[in-house]
């Protein structure tokens, strides 16, 4: 029996990306949930459940934990609800599905009646509906499209896992339903490749096996495509569904798998099939074959999320080329479904408008841009160090790399622009050969400076990133580089400006001079914003604080007499006497600046706005620890801390000492305690008595030594008995 595996089978880029994100989440120290099954495959769902990632149907079931948005995407209202409930989330929506969501939103915003080709109950379609305010018609086939009423403007998109030919049939039916039609082929190229690869294998085999979950839309489409070829086709979810009767009499067996089928399931099926016959698989996709040589965790971890996104983007970019390559000679000689879908009523009936557009284009060709003009042009060539732009006037313009952007990290122009892109540029000068020198950077800068000037006049708050620490302050990127004086970083003195580099903050422009030659044209401040925020938090603090509360705070600074604790809007004093039950030499021996801790509100003085705090109140007293930890008769270790004529005091726990009376120091008469023990010595003592009311503990060194000797004798005797028995 010969086994042929389709070239494209198993996880697509979007599903692998979602699964990798879930694996990464499982390593984090918190509970994670998926909003519905991450993908339509029970094996994957069970695998995630084993990693403590649970599927829930509704956000109402959650008040804590993290949420992973599955590859099918969700309505925007779900994102709003996650933010409202302050739940951490990871968005694993397939990048191609996001593209469809954006198109739906765009079409709806531009006044188009939106039609979605897909299954109304599919989670992807449900999510897309949310992005166009649920004001879209979902059609599942050509019959439903035929029943649609006529409209003025129509925008058509598709569920990513549908059949492309069926989509074009629907477009052909809808083309007559509106004066203007815009259609977008949003079917995933990965799904199409799987279907084409499966059909190719079907033509070579007498049995086709499709591996995938029965609830998966793309798997069901794959099964139907295989059946349409006339070859016997069976659907199995995993190796347990593989029946030997299926394979009886089959000489060549084909295998494919849906986009939500993990590679380890494909491996198990192939391995089982090879046991039915002595022959090994004759033809396998190289990528699948490599995956099968590793366990399922390793094979999934081979590709990073970034690589998956790059693969998906690459597939999307190649989509148009692949569609063109699929055209047959027969299609090129007749009006194809695709060509019909692209024609609008305006293109086919408004010859007058076409004539006007041509005339307007010819007039534009004759216009010659002048130095200082801002014109629009189309990129016709991109090199590493320059970009060639058609700006009309039968001349090309050149944008040097230095005039393309303010960014200094750009090494090649193709990082910023591509052929066919329309740009707005400034004409700098004409060269003798007629070439025009252009600048995109100056146009962008002008627009940005205009906007910043307006923001300055209106006192708007800007977002920016601190990029560098310099003498006297910080440099901040707000689109252009502005200067933030050190005195305006906070509403007080800042010790280390380097702590702010790389962080995002909000700012206001306090000085604006676009014509300034030296120094910064824009001077920023966050001092006022910080003060306003502190005032708001301070008011909120005094409204809610009460004596006796326990509150979380952060140590701002440590002084000799205690520590000042930031309570989220106001600072309170934790006096050195309230840090611990035992005496401490200095607060820094127990506390660290920047540390977070719980403190007890000991006292409030609202008139003087003072808050006294206690850490000691939240700690067990040394005597509570002793009563929990020790009992009379216990033999323990302690440290001799001081001597007296009548005995030795031994520290049991920090803050609690017990007394070894002179009569309990040894089994002979002791003249002075220092004859037996010394300060600082660690000794074993027996607890004779504990008096919690008088807070006294009686200890004995003598009895501890006697018991220890008795134990040694007993162990010796037991050892002797064992030797005699032997």
470-524, pLDDT tens digit by residue?
988 999 988 888 899 999 998 878 888 888 999 999 999 998 887 776 777 889 9
pLDDT at 509: 92
> What is d(CA 102, CA 94) in angstroms, rounded to the nearest whole number?
13
A 10 A CB-CB count for 62 gives 17
Q: What tokens were used for 633?
A: 């008769």
Q: Examine the fold and report which residue of 439, 469, 496 is the final residue of a domain before the chain moves on.
A: 439
Q: Average pLDDT for residues 310-331, to the nearest whole number?
A: 41
Q: How would residue 638 be classed by pLDDT, with cut points 50, 70 and 90?
A: very high
pLDDT of 295 above 50: no
For 120-138, the pLDDT digits (tens) are 988 899 999 999 988 899 9
Q: Which residues contact 547 (CB under 8 A, 6 or more apart)?
A: 601, 602, 603, 604
Mean model confidence pLDDT for the chain: 80
pLDDT of 8 above 70: yes
In a domain, 336, yes or no: no
Q: Average pLDDT for residues 445-467, to the nearest whole number?
A: 89
pLDDT of 298 above 50: no
Instruction: Indicate if 417 and 401 belong to the same structural domain.
Output: yes
Instruction: Indicate if 422 and 472 belong to the same structural domain.
Output: no
Per-residue DSSP letters for 412-479? SGGGT--TT-EEEEEEEEE-TTSPEEEESHHHHHHHHHHHHHHHHHHT--EEEEEEEEETTEEEEESS
Q: Which residues contact 101 (CB under 8 A, 6 or more apart)?
A: 73, 93, 127, 128, 131
Instruction: Indicate if 524 and 451 belong to the same structural domain.
Output: yes
In a domain, 636, yes or no: yes
pLDDT at 449: 86
For 603-625, the pLDDT digits (tens) are 888 888 888 899 888 888 888 88
Beta carbons of 92 and 38 less than 8 angstroms apart: yes
End-to-end CA distance of the chain: 69
Higher local confidence (pLDDT), 357 or 273 = 273
Provide the CATH number for the domain around residue 416.
Answer: 2.40.50.140
> What is d(CA 175, CA 340) in angstroms, rounded to the nearest whole number?
8
Instruction: Indicate if 519 and 578 belong to the same structural domain.
Output: no
CA angle 643–648–652, rounded 5-degree value: 120
pLDDT at 645: 92
pLDDT of 297 above 50: no
In a domain, 327, yes or no: no
For 243-278, the pLDDT digits (tens) are 777 777 788 889 999 888 888 888 888 877 776 654
For 565-592, the pLDDT digits (tens) are 888 778 889 898 888 888 888 998 889 8
Beta carbons of 118 and 162 less than 8 angstroms apart: yes
Query: What DSSP state is assigned to residue 612?
Result: E
Instruction: Indicate if 656 and 698 belong to the same structural domain.
Output: yes
Query: What DSSP state is assigned to residue 276?
Result: H
Instruction: Indicate if 676 and 703 belong to the same structural domain.
Output: yes
pLDDT of 208 above 80: yes
In a domain, 318, yes or no: no
Beta carbons of 98 and 120 less than 8 angstroms apart: no
pLDDT at 288: 37
Q: How would residue 287 be classed by pLDDT, with cut points 50, 70 and 90?
A: very low
pLDDT at 393: 54
> What is d(CA 390, CA 436) in angstroms, rounded to the nearest whole number?
10
Per-residue DSSP letters for 330-382? HHHTS--HHHHHH--HHHHH-HHHHHHHHHHHHHHHH--PPTT-EEEEEEEEE
Instruction: Indicate if 450 and 527 belong to the same structural domain.
Output: yes
pLDDT at 40: 80
Instruction: Indicate if 500 and 562 belong to the same structural domain.
Output: no
Give the per-residue SS3 of 667-700: CCCCCCHHHCCCCCCEEEEEEEEEECCCCEEEEE
For 519-542, the pLDDT digits (tens) are 778 899 998 888 888 888 888 888
Instruction: Indicate if 681 and 700 belong to the same structural domain.
Output: yes
Residue 556 structural domain: 545-618
For 373-419, the pLDDT digits (tens) are 888 888 988 888 888 888 865 567 889 988 888 777 788 888 888 99
For 686-707, the pLDDT digits (tens) are 999 999 888 899 999 988 888 8
Catalytic: 724? Answer: no
Give the per-residue SS3 of 208-249: EEEECCCCCHHHHHHHHHHHHCCCCEEEECCHHHCCHHHHCC
Q: Average pLDDT for residues 22-41, to the nearest whole number?
A: 84
Which is catalytic among the residues 113, 124, 268, 299? 124
In a domain, 177, yes or no: no
pLDDT of 718 above 90: no
In a domain, 488, yes or no: yes
pLDDT at 463: 92
- In the three-class reduction of DSSP (H, G, I as helix; E, B as strand; rest coil), residue 5 is classed as strand
- In the three-class reduction of DSSP (H, G, I as helix; E, B as strand; rest coil), residue 2 is classed as strand
Please state the domain count of the chain: 4
Q: How would residue 310 be classed by pLDDT, with cut points 50, 70 and 90?
A: very low
For 643-666, the pLDDT digits (tens) are 999 999 999 888 889 999 999 999
Q: Examine the fold and report which residue of 558, 585, 618 is the final residue of a domain before the chain moves on.
A: 618
Q: Examine the fold and report which residue of 531, 556, 586 is the final residue of a domain before the chain moves on.
A: 531
Instruction: Indicate if 564 and 591 belong to the same structural domain.
Output: yes
pLDDT at 406: 77
Out of 3-17, 85-99, 231-245, 426-440, pick the least confident. 426-440
Beta carbons of 161 and 71 less than 8 angstroms apart: no
Instruction: Indicate if 413 and 454 belong to the same structural domain.
Output: no
Question: Would you report the helix, strand and coil content of the chain in percent, each value rounded to 5?
Answer: 40, 25, 35
Higher local confidence (pLDDT), 303 or 109 = 109
Q: Which residues contact 350 (CB under 8 A, 6 or more apart)?
A: none
The structure's pTM equals 0.39
pLDDT at 370: 67
Beta carbons of 664 and 700 less than 8 angstroms apart: yes
> What is d(CA 660, CA 670) in angstroms, rounded to the nearest whole number?
12
In a domain, 13, yes or no: no
In a domain, 208, yes or no: no
Among the listed residues 653, 712, 663, 705, the one whose alpha carbon sits nearest the alpha carbon of residue 684: 705
Instruction: Indicate if 510 and 568 belong to the same structural domain.
Output: no
């Amino acid at each position: 029996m010969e086994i042929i595996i389709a070239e494209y089978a198993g996880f697509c880029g979007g599903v692998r990306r979602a699964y990798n994100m879930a694996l990464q989440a499982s390593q984090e120290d918190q509970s994670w949930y998926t909003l519905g099954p991450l993908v339509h495959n029970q094996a994957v769902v069970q695998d995630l459940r084993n990693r403590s990632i649970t599927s829930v149907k509704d956000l109402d079931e959650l008040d804590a934990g993290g949420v992973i948005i599955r590859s099918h995407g969700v309505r925007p209202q779900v994102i709003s609800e996650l933010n409202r409930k302050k739940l951490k989330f990871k968005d694993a929506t397939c990048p191609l599905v996001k593209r469809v969501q954006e198109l739906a939103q765009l079409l709806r915003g531009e006044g188009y009646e939106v039609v979605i080709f897909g299954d109304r109950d599919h989670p992807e379609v449900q999510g897309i509906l949310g992005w166009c305010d649920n004001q879209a018609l979902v059609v599942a086939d050509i019959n439903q499209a035929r029943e649609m009423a006529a409209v003025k403007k129509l925008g058509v998109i598709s569920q990513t896992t549908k059949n492309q030919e069926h989509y074009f049939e629907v477009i052909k039916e809808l083309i007559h339903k509106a004066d203007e039609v815009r259609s977008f082929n949003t079917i995933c190229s990965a799904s199409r490749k799987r279907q084409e690869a499966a059909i190719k294998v079907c033509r070579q085999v007498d049995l086709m096996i499709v591996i995938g979950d029965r609830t998966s839309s793309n798997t069901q489409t794959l099964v139907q495509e295989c059946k349409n070829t006339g070859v016997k086709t069976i659907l199995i979810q995993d190796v347990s569904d593989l029946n030997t009767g299926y394979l009886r009499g089959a000489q060549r067996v084909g295998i494919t798998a849906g986009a939500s089928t993990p590679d380890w399931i494909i491996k198990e099926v192939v391995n089982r099939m090879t046991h039915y016959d002595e022959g090994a698989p004759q033809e396998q996709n190289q990528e699948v074959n490599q995956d099968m040589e590793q366990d399922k965790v390793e094979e999934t971890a081979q590709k990073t999320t970034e690589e998956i996104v790059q693969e998906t983007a690459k597939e999307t970019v190649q989509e148009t080329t692949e569609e063109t390559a699929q055209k047959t000679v027969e299609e090129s000689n007749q009006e194809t479904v695709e060509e019909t879908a692209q024609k609008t009523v305006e293109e086919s009936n408004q010859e007058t408008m076409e004539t006007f557009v041509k005339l307007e284009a010819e007039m534009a060709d004759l216009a010659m841009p002048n130095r200082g003009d801002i014109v629009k042009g189309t990129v016709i060539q991109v090199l590493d160090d320059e970009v060639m732009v058609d700006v009309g006037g039968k001349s090309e313009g050149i944008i040097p790399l230095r005039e393309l952007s303010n960014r200094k990290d750009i090494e090649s122009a193709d990082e910023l622009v591509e052929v066919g892109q329309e740009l707005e540029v400034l004409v700098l000068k004409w060269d003798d050969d007629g070439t025009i020198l252009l600048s995109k950077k100056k146009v962008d800068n002008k627009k940005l400076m205009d906007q910043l000037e307006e923001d300055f006049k209106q006192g708007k708050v800007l977002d920016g990133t601190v990029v560098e620490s310099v003498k006297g302050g910080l440099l901040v990127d707000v689109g252009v580089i502005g200067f933030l004086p050190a005195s305006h970083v906070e509403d007080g003195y800042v010790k280390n400006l380097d702590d702010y580099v790389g962080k995002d903050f909000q700012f206001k422009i306090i000085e604006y001079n676009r014509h300034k030659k030296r120094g910064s044209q824009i001077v920023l401040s966050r001092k006022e914003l910080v003060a306003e925020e502190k005032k708001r938090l301070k008011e909120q603090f005094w409204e809610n604080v009460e004596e006796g509360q326990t509150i979380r705070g952060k140590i701002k600074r440590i002084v000799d007499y205690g520590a000042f604790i930031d309570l989220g809007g106001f600072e309170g004093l934790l006096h050195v006497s309230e840090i611990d039950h035992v005496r401490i030499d200095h607060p820094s021996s127990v506390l660290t600046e920047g540390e977070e801790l719980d403190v007890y509100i000991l006292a409030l003085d609202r008139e003087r706005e003072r808050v006294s705090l206690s850490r000691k109140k939240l700690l067990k007293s040394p005597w509570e620890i002793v009563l929990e930890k020790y009992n009379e008769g216990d033999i323990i270790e302690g440290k001799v801390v001081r001597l007296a004529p009548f005995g030795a005091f031994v520290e049991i726990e920090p803050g609690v000492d017990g007394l070894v009376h002179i009569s309990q120091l040894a089994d002979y008469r002791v003249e002075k305690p220092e004859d037996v023990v010394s300060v600082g010595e660690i000794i074993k003592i027996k607890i004779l008595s504990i008096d919690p009311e008088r807070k006294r503990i009686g200890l004995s060194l003598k009895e501890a030594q006697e018991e220890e000797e008795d134990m040694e004798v007993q162990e010796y005797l037991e050892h002797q008995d064992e030797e005699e028995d032997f």
